[in-house]
Structure formats: structure tokens, C-alpha cells
Structure 1
Amino acid sequence: MKADWERVWEDNFDWNGGVDKNKWDFDNGGGGWGNQEQQFYTARNENARCELFPNSANGRLIIEARKENFENSRFTSARLKSKASWTYGRLQVRAKLPTGRGLWPAIWMLPVAQSYGSQYWPDNGEIDVMEQVGFDPNRIVSSVHTKANNHMLNSQPTNGVQVSDATTNFKIYTLDWNVNKLEMFVGDEGNPLGQRILVWDKQNDWTKWPFDKPFFALLNIAVGGSWGGAKGIDEGIFPARMEIDWVHYYQWR
């Protein structure tokens, strides 16, 4: 990490037990979440917990999607939201992704407040640092959503790259968020910014640029949905987990 960056927030998940609720909130509920998803999100340890690596003091966050009947849903999972929020900076998440048809894990950001327009979404923006679907597990996708450019209009800036070991090794997913530009990358310890996935410049969307307000980070696995479930759900893959070694946020000194 360049000396010009200062780490201002982190969670390293180095224990066995529940998630640190001083740092994270949980979404709870079902109902499809606007994408015809089939999971019910809970705050239970069964769906989100910290575990030490074997014979190590280093731990990771486990987000686990499960096949079980729960509150009129057939699947459960977790969606965590950072209590901290930021404007500009660098978000980095070291994660190993699940595989299995019907899964839809994501690392992304949403705005804290509705500062623009008549609708919270898409008028106030969304930053998808990493999305992956289980029927195409080695394709890593980044996207940006704004009022003028979003998936409802089929106009969102989006791009995918192939990462052959995304489900077998930990990778570092990075968002660089500057005043006039968003850039997403995937890499590893030797080269954290190894592949640029997407760059979106304010000049492309300058009349509706909402990325000048605080955003918070989200981590989740959805089950099914308009994209994740496009080729059905393999009910033999559960439980399925995304493992997150750490989440770090940096800002300029």
C-alpha cells in the first residue's frame, strides 16, 4: 500500500464466534429484495460468523447460504452492512468465493442518505465492486448504477474478467473511489491491483453523478434471483460459503 494511503477502518475477523456488531449491521427478511431472490437474510451465527483458520491466530468471516425452511423461505443467508461510511478512498476485501448454480455473492456499496432525486435507488448510486454468479463462477463482474445508467434501463456500466481460481484461492477485490472516477480491480497479495475490471469517469455521467456523499459497504450471498437464479438453483450445493479474510478501508492522508 502506498504511503499516501492511511487505513482508517478495518475488520480482520480474528476469532471464533459472532460478527462484531459494533462494526456491522445485518439486513433481515425475505420477499425477494427487488431481484426475485429466494433467501431469507438472518443475523444468526449459522449464516454469518467468524472462524479461525486451522492452527492459526488468523481468522475469517464466513457468510453461509443454507437450504432450510425459515420464515416461509427455503433458503437462508446473510447480508452485512458496515456501520462506518466514507466519501472517497480505497475499499479492499480479501475473499474466496463460493461456487454452485443459484448463488449470487457480492461486495458492494450503497449511499447512507437520499441526497438526490425522488428515489433512493437508483438516483443516489450503487457501486458493485464484485459480483459473481454460481453458474459462471470464474467471471468477476463490477458495475456502477446511477439514475441515468442502471440495470433497469439496461444501461449500467459493467464489465467482467476471468479469474480462474476465484473459488479456490483468496483474491483481493479493490475499489478506488476518487472525486471524478471509480475503478475496480481484482488481484492477490503480490499484485493487489492485478486486473482492472471497470473504470467509470464522471465525464461519462456528469449530470447525475451521485458519488460525492458517504457510502457504506455490504457483503452478502443471495440465492436465486433475476441473475443468480437465471439457470436455476442446484439444491445439492448447500451449505455454501463465501470466506472473507479481511475488509480494509483507506483514505488519502
Structure 2
Amino acid sequence: MPSRTPRTLLTALAALTLLAAGPVLTTPAAAEASAAAAAWDTDRAASAYAANPAAVTASASENAGTAPGLAFDGNGGTRWSSDFTDGAWIRVDLGAVIRVDRVTLDWEAAYGKRYVLEASRNGTDWTPFYTETAGTGGSVTAHTYPQEVTARYVRMRGVERATPYGYSLYSFKVYGGEPAPASTTRTNLALNHPAYSNVYQHAGNSPAFVTDGGRPADLKVDVSRWSSDWNADRWVSVDLGATSVVDTVDLYWEAAYAVDYELQVSDDNRTWRTVYRPSASEVAARRADVKSPGEAAGRHDSVRLPQPATGRYVRMLGKERRSFYNPAPSTAQFGYSLYEFEVWGTGGSAAAAYPVLPGEQSGAYRTTFFDDFTAGSLDRSKWRVVRTGTEMGPVNGESQAYVDSTDNIRLENGALVLRAKYCKGCTPAGGGTYDFTSGRIDTNTKFDFTYGKVSARMKLPVGDGFWPAFWMLGSDVDDPSVSWPASGETDIMENIGYGDWTSSALHGPGYSADGNIGARQVYPGGGRADQWHTYAVEWTPTGMKFSVDDRVVQETTRNKLESTRGEWVFDHNQYVILNLALGGAYPAGWNKVTSPYWGLPQSSVDRIAGGGVQAEVDWVRVEQKG
């Protein structure tokens, strides 16, 4: 369940009118980079097909009128259609090895339910970079960041068709470019090289965009840019591949530019040396440039370093964000937004590569945490009792205060009971007064972990606005430099009072609150939430698989999440949470109740007042490999 008010994404800046400012390099190398910039959004697959129709092949086609080349001809009305087999495939030979930035598939009605996008340097050995397990057709863009996808060949390999027909694609587009090679003459060493940041908003604004050559000529288009969240200490860096001598850095900003920042270099991507920072007068002038979003201008900073700097990595470290009238005289600050990060000098290497992502773990599962609630009272060596106003504040518009009381948290008949209570105006907590109390416990400071199977057997209350949940939060959620949703949140089970279904979800940067990656499951065979069921997630380095009574209800692969939504933030510790909330944003979004409490109707209030509204937990288990 969401634990913070989500930050609004930077989409408000999408339509800004931006103007270039500052000098532009006019060396021959700059002219070459300008040509690359003009072609940054070229469909490399269409170009390869136009140059050589034999570059496109497929396992088979339905007929001569749906040949494989028709997915690469630039005509949105023609299409490739396979034969009627699940394992059909189509591929393109790009003619040269490039760093693939993204692939777009435009499906006809006969789409793939399950399929894989794969890359190869030689046309024989294939590496998957996007795995679809629940396709819905339409247009799908798979961004490759942060995977290393340098390839000459790209393939769509079907696994399961969505219809009785074959796979049918109107278009299969591939974007990317050749990484800048080592150079003894001055050039933009960053072009198509790996780039990183500590935070980015979503897959369409990843740091990979700052080295793709994509700086729109008039700086007016909402494309090809990195954007951070709304914090000052955000950075973006580029790996030049080898030790280089850098004399100039060009930063092409969108309107949300840095008022103050540092340019830094590093030999090892850990220890950084500052080589440039704007003067106090320059910072003051930039700070004074406050306009409404519709009037705000972008900026081109062409920074000639005081003296050449040596290093393999170059970083822009933000210090202060620009302010906008919102509306005047009020102001607001958004994140940093950068179209292009050019690094001029000599050296470098095209061998720069993104690190290999974690793979599946080996070994058998073993139990590392278990509680069957058969002791006389809650085992506080395993569980922390959470109180409103102490361990947490109010969230999500919910109506209850969490308290440490056996009226709300107790063990009965070998089960944990989280019970809701009503007493109008009886409970002061966190500076407010509450009419309801309830229970919430977690393993924070007691037990947290990375990867594993997490399960619980539970029986839930049914009624509008009752919101029991079994979930996990990243252990760094209370770190101000991280916070939610960058901490990650895994909702194994949520129910908002409906008897026939529950939901599961993942929350992170670019996919939080109502924009989460989630699924709703309906109990088969007339099952109900107020019966005993086992809810679980299998969390691995490559994905999350949610289940109810061993039936998979949601599967989210890491590469699909990062290709289409945002950063995977589930490689660090999380802790387990059990709670019973009352009313709030999620129930209200479904039942539309606004009084007497948001999301909680009078009929549910009466049931709470009468006693018996409770969530029961038979046991909780965590299993891990290793």
C-alpha cells in the first residue's frame, strides 16, 4: 500500500517553449556530432532493410502478402504475419554493431501474449533483453537501459500467441548508434556511451538519453532527455571507456536546468575530483532567471575547463535546481532535465559497457524467518509494533490510528489478529484525534532481507473500506536521500473489502501510487477473501512472481519493468508489514464513498463499532537461497 504522497512527474514541463543559449562549438568534431544529433531518432532497422532487403528474415510468413520485410518498410498499413505457430520469429541484420537504445513493436490484432526480444553480435548467439509475459498488443517500446545491448542483429521470438492466428507486426523499429571509439583527435567521447544517474523519473527519461546525440535543434521537443526527481543532490555521469583528456563539456539543458552544479572526473567511478563550478555571479544570474513554465527557456552551457582534466568518468553533480513561477509570486522547483551531455577531448574507448545485471540465484530455498503465532503474546524479537505519531504519520487519507494495544493486536487460537475498534474522538495521535484504532506490525529493525519467497496464510474481513495488507518496504525508506517510492514497495496482497478479489503491485520511481505495476486476481471456484488463503511472492534478481494458493496471479520481469516503466529498485533489503487500514485513497477510488469517512461508509462504521472486524494471520514465512 502506498506509504507516501507520490511526487508528480515532470510532465508539466513537456510543453515548455525552450530556447538555446550560449556559444556552440564550431570545430569539425562539433559538426560531426551535430550530424549524429540530427539522426539520433533514425530507425536503424528500416535503414538496414532499405539498403538490403535480405537483411530481414523470419521463421515463416502466413503468405506472400505478409512477408517479413513489410514490418520494416516504413508503411504503417503493411504488416508481417507469421504462420500459426507459437515459436515463430522475425529478425533484422543492422549491418553493423550498434548500442541499441530501444525497440518499438507495433502489433496488429494478432499480437504476442508472451515473447522475447533478443540481441546478437553474430546472428547465432542470442541474449534476451526484454521478456513479455502478459502482452496486450498495441505499440510497445522497450528501452534497453540499464542493460548492455550492443548488437548487429535484433530478433522478436514468440513464445505464446494471443490469438489462434500467427504473430502480426505493422512495424519493428530499432534505435541506437555506434559508440564513439578511441580517438587521438578531439571529438565527443561520450556519444553512445554508457550513462548513469542516482535517480531518474521513468524509462522514457533514463540517463541513456544524454549520450544518444539527441539534442533537438530548437530545444523545444519533449524527447531524448534525462530527468531527475525533485531533489537537489542528483547527478548524471558518462563512462568514456578509458582514461581520457577532457577540455570541454557541453550541457544541453531543458528548461529545468541546474542553477548551480559541479563538473567532476574520476578514474574509478568512486572517487571524484571537481574540475568546474559556476562562479558566484553566474549562479546569482541563473537563480534570478525565474519565469513561468510557459515562458522558461532551456540553456546550453559550453564549459571550457580551466585546464584539461584526465579521467575515465565525467559527472554533472547538481547543487541547486531552477525555480519557476507556479503561479507568480509563488515558485516551485522541479528536477534536473538534460538533453545531452557532450564530453570533448581525446582518448576513450568504444569498449565501455554497462555492467552485467544480477542473474538467478543458485541453491535450494531454506527458511530464514517464520512465525506461526502460537506463543502467548506477540514475539517482539521478530515484530515491531507501529504507532501513528511515533513510528509513522498519517498516510493515504486513512481513518485509523495505529496503536500498541491488545485490543487491536493479539494472538488468538494460534493466529495473529489485527482488529479495528471505534470510539469517536477517543484517540489522540500524531497531533490529530482519531475515531478508529487498528493494528500494524512489521519486521523493520528486526529482520530484513534481499530476495526470497515470502508467504502468509490469511483470512480477511469483507466490507467496504476495510483495507488489510501484506506487503514489504525498502529498508532505506526513511533515508531522506531515498524515501518513497525510490525505496521500492512490494504489495503481496491488498484487499479493500471486496469478497471476490485481491490485488498485488510493485511501486518504484516511475510506477507508483495509481501508476503502480499491479494486477487484480479473482478467487476461482467461488472462493472468498474471508476464507483462509496463502498469499506469496517469489522475489529474485530477475523479477517478481505473485501467487495466491500457489496459483500465479502476477509476474513482472526485471527487464520488462526497466524497459517500459522505470528503475528496478529491488536489489536491496526490504522488511515485511502486516496491517489493517480503514478507508483512504485505495478503497475510495473503488467505492466512491466520501462520508462519513473517505472510503468508509456508515454501514462499515457500524460493523466496526459492533466488533468483529479483523484480519487473521495463521503464519508468515520467508525462504531464501544460499
**Which TM class, normalised by the smaller chain length?**
0.7 to 0.9
How do 1:149-164 and structure 2 match up within 5 A?
Answer: 149-151=511-513, 154-163=514-523, 164=526
Match of 1:38 in 2: 399
Match of 2:572 in 1: 213
2:617 corresponds to 1:244: yes
2:497 corresponds to 1:141: no
Unpaired stretches in structure 2, ≥5 consecutive residues: 1-362, 594-599
Judged with a 3 Å threshold, the aligned counterparts in structure 2 of structure 1 residues 160 and 220 are, in CA distance, closer, same or farther, namely: same
Match of 2:491 in 1: 128
Equivalent AA in structure 2 for residue 113 of structure 1: D
How far off is 1:165 after superposition? Answer: 3.1
How far off is 1:167 after superposition? Answer: 3.2
Judged with a 3 Å threshold, the aligned counterparts in structure 2 of structure 1 residues 201 and 115 are, in CA distance, closer, same or farther, namely: farther
- The equivalent position to 1:23 in structure 2, one of 382, 388, 398, is 382
- The equivalent position to 1:172 in structure 2, one of 517, 520, 534, is 534
What TM-score do the two structures reach when normalised by structure 2? 0.36
2:418 corresponds to 1:84: no
Give the whole-Å Cα distance in 2 for the aligned partners of 1:20 and 1:45. Answer: 13
How far off is 1:124 after superposition? Answer: 1.5
Judged with a 3 Å threshold, the aligned counterparts in structure 2 of structure 1 residues 114 and 245 are, in CA distance, closer, same or farther, namely: closer
Deviations along 1:113-164, whole A, 9 cap, x unmatched?
2599944100121000000001x2321100000101112xx42111111124
Match of 1:203 in 2: 559
How far off is 1:99 after superposition? Answer: 1.1
Please tell me the root mean square deviation across aligned C-alpha atoms, in Å: 2.1
Any conservation in 2 of the 1:111–1:124 contact (CA below 8 Å)? yes
How far off is 1:236 after superposition? Answer: 1.7
Judged with a 3 Å threshold, the aligned counterparts in structure 2 of structure 1 residues 215 and 70 are, in CA distance, closer, same or farther, namely: same
Deviations along 1:159-210, whole A, 9 cap, x unmatched?
11112433332100011000010111001xxxxx12x221111112335111
Give the whole-Å Cα distance in 1 for the aligned partners of 2:502 and 2:477. Answer: 29
Larger radius of gyration: 2
Match of 2:470 in 1: 107
Give the whole-Å Cα distance in 2 for the aligned partners of 1:165 and 1:47. Answer: 27
Deviations along 1:204-238, whole A, 9 cap, x unmatched?
23351110001000000101101224433321221
2:66 corresponds to 1:66: no
Any conservation in 2 of the 1:117–1:123 contact (CA below 8 Å)? no
What TM-score do the two structures reach when normalised by structure 1? 0.87
Specify the SS of the correspondent of 2:559: helix
Judged with a 3 Å threshold, the aligned counterparts in structure 2 of structure 1 residues 36 and 250 are, in CA distance, closer, same or farther, namely: same
Equivalent AA in structure 2 for residue 110 of structure 1: L
- The equivalent position to 1:96 in structure 2, one of 434, 447, 459, is 459
Specify the SS of the correspondent of 1:237: helix
The structure with the greater share of residues assigned to strand is 1
Any conservation in 1 of the 2:475–2:487 contact (CA below 8 Å)? no
Match of 1:190 in 2: none
Equivalent AA in structure 1 for residue 410 of structure 2: R
Equivalent AA in structure 1 for residue 435 of structure 2: R
Structure with the greater relative contact order (CA < 8 A, sep ≥ 6): 1 or 2?
Answer: 1
Equivalent AA in structure 2 for residue 36 of structure 1: G
Specify the SS of the correspondent of 1:205: helix
Equivalent AA in structure 2 for residue 5 of structure 1: Y
Give the whole-Å Cα distance in 1 for the aligned partners of 2:438 and 2:478. Answer: 30
Equivalent AA in structure 2 for residue 112 of structure 1: S
Give the whole-Å Cα distance in 2 for the aligned partners of 1:97 and 1:38. Answer: 18
Any conservation in 2 of the 1:108–1:126 contact (CA below 8 Å)? yes
Give the whole-Å Cα distance in 1 for the aligned partners of 2:461 and 2:483. Answer: 30
The structure with the greater share of residues assigned to helix is 2
Any conservation in 2 of the 1:89–1:178 contact (CA below 8 Å)? yes
Match of 2:372 in 1: 12
